[in-house]
Structure 1
């Protein structure tokens, strides 16, 4: 029985896609590019004669209807398919299919999951699908479906293509097919067992408008034969996709130089915006008190930043404008351990390190640590070549195919190709010109300190509190363990970090504010007790002699409860005495009183953290705004928001959704503090040549620009918003940034330092009117 009819049109499109792809690349370095061998089935869609192993959901039968739950979406069906209406008045609009018995897949291998789908919306829809096992663990994937899309989407679940740790997030499409690959959104290291699937969850996040899709024929298919050229010769000498030529593709140095000449001429001839102050404030708005530093003020019910000259200021610009974290692992490592040495008093985390020079002596111990990674490159320079200066080293990684290893920065190499020996100085100058020409008012977080003394664009300084202090573990630690803010060493390291920031910014009025840390794993805002209060439960499990947080928490609880019996009564536990409690306790169930106490302790932990940071900043950098802790959607418990309100000048959230939904963020109106978005972005894996769109997906560059404008409108309409920072300035490496494998199309410029014209036009449309529009509303 055939569950998928392949049309003649599908064959034609698949053939055209192959004809557009390019294997190999031109040589621009000292090493001859590796030649690709012919791929299997290059002219045939591998799923033209798909083999269906089993049907998971037969949409032509009504039996599955009792499996459906759609409390936060609209569900309807006919005799061939079902329709999901995703709702903008829900932050997560979801439809779940949970069969009476789990789908047992143990008899099949290797396989991919596929389904047919039609986007019935008037715009693209960013669709998520998570697969859930018996323990509630999930693997999540997503895709942007263009307006009026009709076709098949799929992803491999087992086999080489699903299980290989490539060292980057969005994988290279494994087969030649018109079927659309859903993007992996989970860590392979999590090793979620999906041999039995207990539920399928279709959902959207943070919609600004309702969306609707029609789905049919959810099935398990046999994987085609592996392509022997998969994951080989992926990059050309410019760090571009070697097999797909995009509209911005660079074929040779001459083209790169000609494009650069044209852009520089346009920047040099562009007129300045006379409505902007020297700091980017709006001169046609109300003139306020000039204090010589950035501050905040509420004016006629709206929060604003105010620049040092007293003009209203809205902070908008790119974050992560630096060379750090733009390199990718080459697959090479060194046996000489000296290259991995780190000092206990370091203040810069590994992912923020600049170029690490590897000595000739260390290079004598060179070896190929990952053949898979090394085969990704059709070109890398010899160590004695001019472009070899762009090699570096990662002493440790957060996730990926290698724990440490050699890296190469193609973006930096392309800057040298464009600008010559003084490429970094020219890059600083051109970046500042672009910032002003595009209408941005500031940099965001993580900007190269070399911009500080140029005093042309305001910036936000940042620091990480790292060191040998005690830590706490949540159920999930996204970017690392939580610091134990009660540990005196934490306060010492906070002081050292902020003193280093002060040395860099030199009390400059161009520093608009200070960010300390980023996306800490405080716990989930919703979910199980363990998910919400994991860091507190971890502290309670520790011996108080070894945990400052446990000592503090024990003191709080002793003050609240007159005896251990009183605590046992409230928590329904049988802890023998306070000594037993101090030695460490764990729990299997929780009363409401117990949960309330965990909530109280999380609030106390947050207050301790923010007190240390706030007081240290106030002592060392009293003239600059404390911008808060840059909380992520997944790490902003109400308790921590409450604590941050007391100690932050400006609240900061990283919001990766289609936009700021009015209903979901309405609580910030009651908080009544200015708010800035520390990170947001939108990307695409279609006409960018990239494999991973980023966190928020668009269907192409034009749709990316549309979604950016809609996002910014949702921000500018909020009375409490004073800024929004896009993450990041440059696309991430296609083969994954070395630290954790992120490889998204999230830059305003690509790897050859070429601006995306659709995005730049959209930015100019927003920035040229943002002050006027916000003042009028």
Structure 2
């Protein structure tokens, strides 16, 4: 049995040409309220704080009741206590906040309002703006039990991340729960009211409403300028344990050393991380599978049962952040005449920087490469893991401490079968003799790397092939369709199929008679 967990660390900003990349994990955390923005660039204009004896003068309920309350107040001392009453199908329960004078949202991003749910259940509700002509735009959302959130009804069109060489952009409105307004002809310069509503609730629901404000638009370039700090972190948020000085890396290294010494690998592990107690298999000197009393077990070289619990993708590669054309995004980059210059690289006309490698050197010093591998093995052992999974750095082969999986991809000029045109991951044609020749070469090369190491659990070849598509018409037989589309003169797989049909039916006429088809030739 094998259980592996993939964890990616750091982030990448891809080049404009490929428009690929990973969104900063810290940006996602911001949207969930786990981080605090230090420079959001958001300008707010409060239009109603519901304060004082006239605080609810512009608030009215329709199939709902409203009152002033201190509960749920997020700005000042008073909020709107709203009770949405049950109604028949088609009867909305609505709290209307009208403008004392028309609100102009022209050039603005939308409106924000603080909502509190005092109940122990999730509550669904809608937000909508109405103009003076009665045209509306809004959307439905929800709030969890005992939560207070800022809901942002957004009318701002999103920038295209690919224009900035990214797969996603940081939220312009950190900490807000964004509700995308649906398309309509709402006159943004003549907004008359905000409705908070529920669609015919079956029972009374309470919400507290406070701090209604107009939210200004954020310029995307302003949002991205200086967003990456010297350590490759998102610069415009703060969160627990965010790195703020290089000296903290040394401090963390010392603390982690102490923690790993205090929490070594489980004492129940044998030298391979296997279970030395209970049933035993045959000690073959290598990892193998064996059936014992009707059950299959993974058996370590010494015959002990082995439950593989590990992590994929343990490597330092794939961490280059393209710089060229996006210099404005980086608050600070090392000079090219410093000891971190080795982490710059150039491909074509694009210069990139390896923040992860630089941080490893900052933390471990000039021997960072070996220290990284040693620390990685120490961590896995301390966490109770016993396997280095696929996609990991080749330097873990022959590490002498922990079992691992070797994996490689067979490349060459042999025929390939593209099963899903939307995913560039073609399958090798196993009927092509060139494929067998390339496979033999690669197996011999990797066997040379492994050198009969007993800790090598096995090999993964061409991992995660695409066998099927989401096309409902062909689904899980997409591979057969893809082969049939090829020409037998250039596709050994198609030729092998044709030969099997010839052997069975003799002629195309016989095949058509048996299958009810109208083929005219074998090709």
Alpha-carbon distance in 1 for matches of 2:481, 2:144: 44
Write the deviation string for residues 455-493 of structure 1: whole angstroms up to 9, x where unpaired: 011111111112222222223443422222222221122
Distance 1:514 1:232 in 2: 45
Tell me if the contact between 1:161 and 1:174 (Cα under 8 Å) persists in the aligned partners.
no
1:20 equivalenced with 2:36 (yes/no): yes
Structure 1 residue 454 and structure 2 residue 447: aligned?
A: no
Distance 2:155 2:511 in 1: 47
CA contact (8 A) 1:234 1:378 kept: yes
Map of 1:504 onto structure 2: 449
Aligned to 2:390: 445
Q: Give 1:574's match in structure 2, choosing from 514, 518, 521.
A: 518
Q: Which residue of 2 aligns with 1:711?
A: none
Residue 442 of structure 1, CA deviation:
1.1
Aligned to 2:351: 406
Map 1:76-91 onto structure 2 (within 5 A): none
Partner residue, 2:361: 416
User: Which structure 2 residues correspond to residues 87-126 of structure 1 after superposition, within 5 A?
Assistant: none
| Distance in 2, Cα, partners of 1:544 & 1:405 | 42
Q: Map 1:315-334 onto structure 2 (within 5 A).
A: 315-330=308-323, 332=324
Deviation at 1:518, TM superposition (A): 1.7
Within 1, Cα distance between the matches of 2:448 and 2:328?
43
- The equivalent residue for 1:392 is 345
CA contact under 8 A between 1:45 and 1:176: conserved in structure 2? no
Structure with bigger strand share is 2
Change (3 A) 1:180 1:296: farther
The answer (yes or no) to whether the contact 1:473–1:482 under 8 Å persists in 2 is yes
Closer, same or farther: CA 242–551 of 1 in aligned 2, 3 Å? same
Report if aligned partners of 2:227, 2:235 keep a CA contact under 8 Å in 1.
yes
Larger helix fraction of residues: 1
Match of 2:461 in 1: 516
Aligned position for 2:170: 172
Q: 1:225 to 1:438 in 2, by over 3 A?
A: closer
User: Would the alpha carbon gap of residues 405 and 539 (structure 1) be closer, same or farther in structure 2, given more than 3 Å must change?
Assistant: farther
Any unmatched runs of 5+ in structure 1? 1-13, 24-38, 49-59, 61-76, 82-109, 125-142, 183-194, 196-214, 333-370, 396-403, 583-777
Question: Aligned equivalents of 1:412 and 1:226: distance in 2?
Answer: 32
Moved more, 456-465 or 446-455: 446-455
Q: CA deviation at 1:276?
A: 1.0
SS class of match (1:454)? coil
Corresponding residue for 1:161?
159
Contact 1:474-1:531 at 8 Å conserved across structures: no
* Mapped partners of 1:173, 1:431: distance in 2: 33
How far does residue 379 in structure 1 lie from its aligned partner after superposition?
2.3
Which residue is 1:563 aligned to? 507
Structure 2 residue corresponding to 1:238, chosen from 227, 231, 244: 231
Query: Does the 8 Å CA contact 2:37/2:236 hold for their aligned counterparts?
Result: yes
Aligned to 1:738: none
* Structure-1-length-normalised TM-score: 0.44
1:636-688 C-alpha deviation (Å, 9 max, x unpaired): xxxxxxxxxxxxxxxxxxxxxxxxxxxxxxxxxxxxxxxxxxxxxxxxxxxxx
Instruction: Find the residue that maps to 2:297 and give its secondary structure.
Output: strand
Counterparts in 2 of 1:438 and 1:551: CA distance versus 1, 3 Å: same
Provide the rounded CA distance (Å) in 2 between the counterparts of 1:45 and 1:429.
Answer: 55
Match of 1:41 in 2: 42
Contact 1:487 1:549 in 2 (8 A): yes
Paired residue for 2:257?
264
Matches within 5 A, 1:718-729: none
Distance (whole Å) between structure 1 residues aligned to residue 332 and residue 387 of structure 2:
36
C-alpha deviation, 1:510, in angstroms? 0.8
Q: Structure 1's 488 and 158: CA in aligned 2 closer, same or farther, altered over 3 A? A: farther
> Which of structures 1 and 2 has the bigger CA Rg?
2
- How much has 1:43 moved relative to structure 2? 4.9
> Shift in Å at residue 178 of structure 1?
1.1
Mapped to 2, the partners of 1:573 and 1:412 lie a distance apart of: 60
Give the alignment partner of residue 550 of structure 1, picking from 486, 489, 494: 494
Residues 252 and 375 from structure 1, CA distance in 2 versus in 1: closer, same or farther, beyond 3 angstroms?
Answer: same
Shift of 1:157: 11
Deviation at 1:249, TM superposition (A): 0.3
CA distance in 1, matches of 2:174, 2:410: 46
Cα-to-partner distance string for 1:129-180 (whole Å, 9 max, x where unaligned): xxxxxxxxxxxxxx99977768798999994524644444343224456124
What secondary structure sits across from 1:375 in the alignment? helix
* Displacement of 1:319: 0.9
CA contact (8 A) 1:279 1:441 kept: yes
**Cross-structure match for 2:438:** 493
Q: How does 1:286-301 map to 2 (within 5 A)?
A: 286-300=279-293
2:274 is matched with which residue? Answer: 281
Report the Cα offset of residue 503 of structure 1. Answer: 1.2
How far 1:40 sits from its partner (Å)? Answer: 4.4
Could you list the per-position Cα deviations for residues 186-225 of structure 1 after superposition, in whole angstroms to 9, with x for gaps in the alignment? xxxxxxxxx9xxxxxxxxxxxxxxxxxxx979xxxx9956
The secondary structure found in structure 1 opposite 2:237 is coil
What are the residue-to-residue correspondences of 1:377-776 with 2, within 5 Å? 377-392=330-345, 405-524=350-469, 527-569=471-513, 573-575=517-519, 577-578=520-521, 581-582=522-523
Q: Aligned equivalents of 2:199 and 2:500: distance in 1?
A: 56
Q: 2: distance between equivalents of 1:437 and 1:510? A: 19
Of residues 284, 294, 306 in structure 1, which corresponds to 2:299?
306
CA–CA separation in structure 1 for the residues paired with 2:257 and 2:499:
63
**Equivalent-residue separation in structure 2 for 1:154 and 1:256 (angstroms):** 38
Cα distance in 2 for partners of 1:550, 1:45 equals 69
* Kept in 1: contact 2:505–2:511 (CA 8 A): yes
| Cα deviation 1:252-301 (Å, max 9, x = unaligned) | 01122112111112223445533210110112333332111111223455
The alignment partner of 1:386 has SS state of coil
Contact 1:477 1:521 in 2 (8 A): no
Structure 1 residue 311: Cα displacement: 1.3
SS at match of 1:229: helix
Per the alignment, residue 630 of structure 1 pairs with none
CA RMSD in angstroms, aligned pairs only: 4.5
- SS of 2:459's equivalent? strand
- Distance across 1 between alignment mates of 2:142 and 2:357: 31
With over 3 angstroms needed to count, the CA separation of the structure-2 counterparts of 1:541 and 1:432, relative to structure 1, is closer
How many corresponding residue pairs?
393
Q: Distance in 2 between matches of 1:482 and 1:144?
A: 44
| Residues 228 and 408 of structure 1: CA distance in aligned 2, closer, same or farther (over 3 Å) | closer
State whether residues 156 and 223 of structure 1, in contact with CA within 8 Å, keep that contact through their aligned partners in structure 2. Answer: no
